[in-house]
Amino acid sequence: MNLVVYILKKDVMYDFLLDIKNKFETYVPIKKDITRFKILDNPKDIDFSENSYFPVKEHFFRKKEVIFQFNGSNFLPVELKSKNKIFFGLRRCDLNAIKNQDFIFMKQHNDPYYTSQRKKAVLIGYHCTKALNKYCFCESMNLTDYYDLMLFDKTNYFLVDAKTEKGENLIRKYKKYFKKSNYKISDKDTYIKTRKINKKDISKFYDHKDWDKGINLCLSCSACTEMCPTCYCHEIHDNTEINNPRNAKRIRSWSSCQLKEFTSVAENHTFRDTKEARFKHRIYHQLQYFKERNKINLCTGCGRCITGCPTKIDWVKIINEMR
Ligand code: SF4
Ligand code: SF4
């Protein structure tokens, strides 16, 4: 496939967005109290100054998903409806998080609910020009190029790198906004200096006393996993209607390894009974266990689990200070 770099002028970007929003449900970062991905109304509302407080994960791996229904005699499949969507302005860490969730829900498992949403989405990135805040550590996480189109901000214009057929097709369809360029995206364009994790392997630090700095502040509230773009723990429940108990729905909903009940089983047994076990499990799963099994860093270094933590537990700093 012949992949080309294009130029999109900034004033033209507004017209391009107004045009695509007629065909696609278009989500862009908008800053009000916090920055969130919202459906595009006025392109001038777009704000690239910070990353979205919440990731876009819920558009694909939805908070609550009805898997099937039961009407007393038959199982009724749910209709998998999805819209053509464009996500405009995703950061490299979040694109890699989608890559990891694609791996989990589309390669490791063939999840029709996730796949039906994901297949209809076009991912357009906005490459950071610097670390967005003091908690980012993507430089340590070996991120790769995973997008349909990526915008590189060159002050008055964007260089637009097309990485997939989906991205090329979009440019072909809206070609009046784009000009071909001979520019080759290099490491100079993609390198972003962030803080780093100074340990490649944290396995021998499992019993280190410094974990207490985090554990003692942890409220087991699960905000960190809720906000994490890669966390994928969930539960499955059968819900019946109180007035008509023969009708039922099987529902998958987000859960969290930070909640004690997540590992509770019969006979009042809980596998990760202590806050210490749950706290360490999250970090070790993100940095180590998933990588050992799949050769992929699950964590993408976005830092949201720290910015969103009510007690601001900076577990990267804790790891870096372990001796
Ligand atoms: S957000 Fe912070 S306090 Fe809440 S469970 Fe996660 S680490 Fe603990
Ligand atoms: S573990 Fe934290 S830093 Fe890593 S991807 Fe999840 S939210 Fe981002």
pLDDT tens per residue across span 108-134: 999 999 999 999 999 999 999 999 999
- Looking at residue 3, its pLDDT comes to 61
Residue 176 shares a structural domain with residue 40: yes
- Looking at residue 2, its pLDDT comes to 46
| CA 262 / ligand 1 centre spacing (Å) | 15
- Angstrom distance (rounded) from CA 107 to CA 252: 19
Residue 147 shares a structural domain with residue 183: yes
Domain range for 241 is: 203-321
Residue 257 shares a structural domain with residue 303: yes
Q: What is the pTM of this model?
A: 0.95
Residue 86 shares a structural domain with residue 177: yes
- Looking at residue 64, its pLDDT comes to 97
| CA 218 / ligand 1 centre spacing (Å) | 5
Query: Count of domains in the chain?
Result: 2
In the chain, % helix, strand, coil (3-state, to 5) comes to: 35, 25, 45
The ligand 1 site (C-beta within 6 Å) comprises: 218-224, 258, 309-311, 313
Specify which residues 9 forms β-bridges with: 157
pLDDT tens per residue across span 58-101: 999 999 999 999 998 999 999 999 999 999 999 999 999 999 99
Q: Tell whether 222 is covered by a domain.
A: yes
- Angstrom distance (rounded) from CA 122 to CA 59: 12
Residue 117 shares a structural domain with residue 238: no
pLDDT exceeds cutoff 70 at 1: no
Q: Which of 139, 168, 190 finishes a domain?
A: 190
Nearest CA to ligand 1 atom 6: 224
CA angle 203, 207, 213 (to 5 degrees): 110
- Angstrom distance (rounded) from CA 258 to CA 261: 9
Residue 209 shares a structural domain with residue 87: no
Mean model confidence pLDDT for the chain: 96
